[in-house]
Amino acid sequence: MRSGDELRRSTLRMALAAAQNAEKEKRAPLSDDEAVAIISREVKRRRESIEAFEKAGRTDLADREKAEVEVLTPYLPAQLGEDELRPLVQQAIAETGATSARDLGRVMGALKSQVKGRADGKVLSGLVAQELARADLAAHAHAESSKESQGA
């Protein structure tokens, strides 16, 4: 905080205030998972702000939000990449017996505890939707080939 980096100082103070407010609401010290959840929420808010500012043409404000995300990110657990998430998604789909996009919520619920704080929800839901669409297409292709073989 003494380095003179105003952006870093204000960003960390904002995150610390959010954590202190959560402790007051809870009336107990935060666990490590709860602290990570608060920082994740702060990063998510900033990412949403970045999108809104960019749509409004306010790149100056979007740049500040991006800088704040860069300050907070080192305090989060390492994020899982798509290559690491895909096997977890496929496993959750198999475990839940999901077969179509209607099952997205069930699969996301199964994944939530495994990737908590280590994956962006938008990225994760996109992967789940892709895998469910792929499974749905495979099921339809299998059903079509079955019909053709029976009709022959």
Domain ranges of the chain: 6-75, 82-151
Percent of the chain with pLDDT over 70: 88
pLDDT tens string 102-146: 888 999 999 988 888 788 888 899 999 999 888 777 666 666 666
The mean per-residue pLDDT over the stretch 54-81 comes to 94
Domain 82-151 has CATH 1.10.10.410: yes
Give the count of beta carbons closer than 10 Å to the beta carbon of residue 22: 15
The per-residue pLDDT for 135 is 77
Query: CB-based contacts of 119: which residues, under 8 Å, 6+ apart?
Result: 79, 80, 85
Residue 1 has pLDDT above 60, yes or no: no
What CATH number labels 6-75?
A: 1.10.1510.10
- Are the CB atoms for 80 and 115 separated by under 8 Å? yes
Cβ-based neighbour number of residue 81 at 10 Å: 10
- The more confidently predicted of residues 33 and 143 is 33
**pLDDT given for residue 79 in this prediction:** 87
pTM of the predicted protein model: 0.70
Kindly tell me if the per-residue pLDDT of 152 is higher than 60: no
User: Closest by alpha carbon to 65, among 108, 10, 138, 3?
Assistant: 10
- The answer, yes or no, to whether residue 62 has pLDDT greater than 90, is yes
